[in-house]
Amino acid sequence: MGKRDDLIAKYAEDLKNKCGMTPDMDLLKKVTIGCGPSIYNADASTVAGSQESELETVKNSFLIKKLGLADGPELMEAINKVIEVYGRSERNKYRAVVYYMLAKHFGKESVYK
């Protein structure tokens, strides 16, 4: 298994154990690939759930640009809901896991098909 496969397995574990969901492995793989090289960078591979600027980046770069959603208060509500599910106290909130849960939340899996 390559490094990316190892990371996908780690993300699947987080979804199962920390978020209480059974991951759609095909979608998780596509979301992970969509994150690009950032998954290999310790800082870029995680989302700082308590940093407003980081949450704005998730909203603008992922929800609006990638998923094509219209800006509105529901976007930040969804991000905060995902952070709650992941666990606010969880230090490593992996970007691919957060993006996966947001894609599921908004029913935007088709963006990755």
Please give the sequence-ordered ranges of beta strands (E in DSSP) within 1-113, or none if there are none. none
66 lies in which domain range? Answer: 3-112
**Residue % of the chain over a pLDDT of 90:** 96
pTM score of the predicted model: 0.96
Q: Are 86 and 95 in contact (CB under 8 A)?
A: no
The CATH number for 91's domain is 1.10.238.120
Q: Quote the number of domains for the chain.
A: 1
Helix (H, G, I), strand (E, B) or coil at 55: helix
Encode pLDDT of 13-72 as tens digits.
Answer: 999 999 999 999 999 999 999 999 999 999 999 999 999 999 999 999 999 999 999 999
Q: Which residues contact 7 (CB under 8 A, 6 or more apart)?
A: 32, 39, 45, 96
